[in-house]
A and B are shown apart, each in its own frame.
Chain A
């Protein structure tokens, strides 16, 4: 049951993602990385 909900949720996110223009997708990727770095304190190594 819970797996199905995850799957439906992921499908909805993917559908939203595909509807975005590529420039906005770039902004979304950038925003996701900023959130991961600032809120979750994830360190990106070089």
Chain B
């Protein structure tokens, strides 16, 4: 049965997770960061053997399942407390970042339209997933996708280290840090890791904010598909189904559990168990996430895309930090 193909890699994820917990209890270093570091070390020293690749490749499945379960520890009341302000930030900051990157890449950096659009989508909405989704809609070339994805991954690696340090230096509250990371960092995995490394509450807010931001991907894909079709540079045909296809469906599972939790379906013991379950799923996911950070590939990114995305990050980070400290 082909299920067996997954077992060696899954075993490695489990061993990495247990190792990360062990290091935390001995050295006091956050287990999520240890899990990512373990993955990075594995991928960049001995490499990921073919036998392990299928199992390790399941890490996004565990991240999604962990996010679904996180819904059980939240209630609508908690979310609505600062939900309106956060929603405005979640829509405003990515929109401003997208426009800024488009302008910068076309007028100042002189990048091609499609590469600029991929960088804009990746840095404003949801990292590599947004790049892949938009690339399909605008028929971007292979090398443009690889270039944009490598640039975003480079900053994922940088922000995992920098954000917790800046958060501590600025003594941000849990909610402020979570929303800041959720709105301005690029990919979902690093946002969840950094949030939970800061605190449990920061992790929950970082994840919720990032999920809301990810939900914008359908609109961004539709907007780009329409723009390139109208500008005559593309013949992509747009259908409203794209909105549904690009929507991250695990958000529905998350919302379902938030609803059940809000009406008091879970006892405190059950909630504690579900929190433990998602914590384990996150550690598993982050060992796998670490294996995707290939230092050699990151070194191959070009200077100009890196400068454009760095500017986007500083812009989004500064704007969201100002909004979060003023209103949250």
- A12 in contact (CB, < 8 A): no
Q: A22-B61, A46-B279 are in contact. Are A30 and B273 (CB under 8 A)?
A: no
- B266 in contact (CB, < 8 A): yes
- B248 in contact (CB, < 8 A): yes
* B-facing residues in A1-46 (Cβ within 8 Å): 11, 14, 21-27, 29-31, 33-34, 37-38, 42-46
The answer to whether B64 touches A22 (Cβ under 8 A) is yes
Q: A29-B65, A34-B274, A38-B266 are in contact. Are A23 and B250 (CB under 8 A)?
A: yes
A26 vs B67: C-alpha distance when bound (angstroms) = 9
Closest chain B CB from A4 CB (angstroms):
15
The answer to whether B65 touches A26 (Cβ under 8 A) is yes
Closest chain B CB from A21 CB (angstroms):
7
Partner of A34, one of B1, B3, B69: B69
Chain B at the A interface: SS class: helix
- B72 in contact (CB, < 8 A): yes
Interface string of B39-60 (1 = CB under 8 A from A): 0000000000000000000001
- B295 in contact (CB, < 8 A): no
Partner of B250, one of A26, A38, A46: A26
* A-facing residues in B243-289 (Cβ within 8 Å): 248-250, 252-253, 257, 265-266, 269-270, 273-274, 276-277, 279-281
The answer to whether B249 touches A43 (Cβ under 8 A) is no
The answer to whether B277 touches A23 (Cβ under 8 A) is no
B277 to chain A: which residues have CB within 8 Å? 33, 37, 44
The answer to whether A33 touches B249 (Cβ under 8 A) is no
B276 to chain A: which residues have CB within 8 Å? 44-46
The answer to whether A30 touches B253 (Cβ under 8 A) is yes
Instruction: Give B residues with C-beta under 8 Å from A.
Output: 1, 3, 60-65, 67-69, 72, 248-250, 252-253, 257, 265-266, 269-270, 273-274, 276-277, 279-281
Instruction: Give A residues with C-beta under 8 Å from B.
Output: 11, 14, 21-27, 29-31, 33-34, 37-38, 42-46
Task: Report the 10 A-B pairs with minimum CB-CB distance, sorted nearest first.
Answer: A26-B64, A30-B68, A27-B253, A23-B249, A29-B65, A46-B276, A44-B276, A44-B273, A26-B250, A26-B65
